[in-house]
Amino acid sequence: MADEVILLDFWPSLFGMRAKIALREKGVDFDPRVEDPWNKSPLLLETNPVHKKIPVLVHNGKPVCESLIIVQYIDETWGPESPLLPSDPHERARARFWADYVDKMIPVVRAVCASAGEAQEVVTKEYIEGLNVLQGELGNKAYFGGDRFGYVDVSLIPLYSWFFALETSSGFSHEEECPKLVGWAKRCMQRESVAKSLPDPQKVYDFMLELKKKIQAQ
Amino acid sequence: MADEVILLDFWPSLFGMRAKIALREKGVDFDPRVEDPWNKSPLLLETNPVHKKIPVLVHNGKPVCESLIIVQYIDETWGPESPLLPSDPHERARARFWADYVDKMIPVVRAVCASAGEAQEVVTKEYIEGLNVLQGELGNKAYFGGDRFGYVDVSLIPLYSWFFALETSSGFSHEEECPKLVGWAKRCMQRESVAKSLPDPQKVYDFMLELKKKIQAQ
């Protein structure tokens, strides 16, 4: 019997994109179910009763939650010939460190989108500093792990679809601030797994504006 | 040549305790170096230049940072006959989910220690809710993973050394609020790896009072 793989997702979610990229890297057919964050499905509430958040990967009825845990699960379950995490324990730990670093930047990304004026200047500075730390780790490598697209790339590349929204709302240029990182992002976008999983930047920007209105109306 | 294993640590740190328990579970000899958080050593700044935080495990000169990443590194590097993480990918994902849940509770733990009055009541309620979610996951099992002490146990048990400090500062009883979890903690404490790695609760409480004074003076 073929595997049943369902992904509970919401299209602008950086976390959902990670799961989609990993599944596509491994060539896993899956059934994407778009959730409405303001009207969660019974399946989402049942499969992630603790956090009630997407993404949730439901594999043959068994749920896996939290995006980086999902990516590791996908890596351990499918396609051992094309691993996302390196096999050496120290290199694995290093990849996990940088993926965790990306996770720790997400609240700053949210703050850049949600703030304005001086407060936005402060968080934008922090955000750009974070990108520069990542750019330093990338160095002159093609991907974070070296020559192969891997775990850290999967964890960070979704943010590229938000670059336009971030720039437009806060008035800076990723290309000017971290050109090597933009080069890396363009390289990642040449992969079908990534190109198919990242939404249109204009659509993300429109979503961000709509979200701001919703939050202000509350 | 024998491995050189150094652990940069600070005794009341929940994160440092995780690393010590995992090393002791695996029977790894290590050189514990107590750091002063207010006067960090050159070795700490060199091995964790991004976060500049303990714990750092330095194995034959190579650093590993972030406690849960360190525990996974230890599990992948030593003692495959006594694994901390389960071998089944779905069970591994589940263990990672709950360890991550514990990590997400730490800011609430800090808030209980640092706050007072009504604000403290609010965060204490949130803390106790979190413990009850964990108690629900534990159920009637001996350990979080079943019969064997493992990854989730390592991630959570350090908090037991802070129970007295939390109770004394916020006026509630863990025994009353989550008796099964206290039973689990006492079971874990029977293990040498845990008993040797957790500091005296009275000493933790005194440290917390000292820390509050330092923060207020700033």
Residue pLDDT, tens place only, A92-148: 999 999 999 999 999 999 999 988 899 999 999 999 999 999 999 999 999 999 999
Task: Say if the Cβ atoms of A92 and B101 lie within 8 Å.
Answer: no
On whether the A89-217 domain is CATH 3.30.230.10, my answer is no
Taking only the tens place, the pLDDT of each residue in B29-76 is 999 999 999 999 999 999 999 999 999 999 999 999 999 999 999 999
Tell me the CA distances in angstroms from A172 to A124, A127, A156, A176, A200, one per residue in order.
Answer: 9, 11, 19, 8, 20
Whether A60 and A8 have beta carbons less than 8 Å apart is answered as no
Query: Does the beta carbon of A129 lie under 8 angstroms from any beta carbon of chain B?
Result: no
Identify residue B19 by its one-letter amino acid code.
Answer: A
Within 67-86 of A, beta carbons closer than 8 Å to B belong to 69-70, 72-73, 76-77
What's the N-to-C CA distance of chain B in angstroms? Answer: 48
Instruction: Determine, for residues B96 and A50 on separate chains, whether the beta-carbon distance falls below 8 Å.
Output: no
As annotated, the residues of chain A forming the CATH 3.40.30.10 domain(s) are 5-77
φ, ψ for residue A39, nearest 5 deg: -155, 75
pLDDT band per the 50, 70, 90 thresholds, residue A213: confident
Q: State in words which class domain A5-77 has.
A: alpha beta
Contact flag A50-B133 (C-beta cutoff 8 Å) = yes
Contact across the interface for A93 and B133, Cβ inside 8 Å: no
Average per-residue pLDDT for chain A: 96
CATH 1.20.1050.10 residue window(s) in chain A: 89-217
Minimal CA separation from A56 to chain B, in Å = 12
pLDDT under 70: residue ranges of chain B? 1
Q: Is a pLDDT exceeding 90 seen at residue A218? A: no
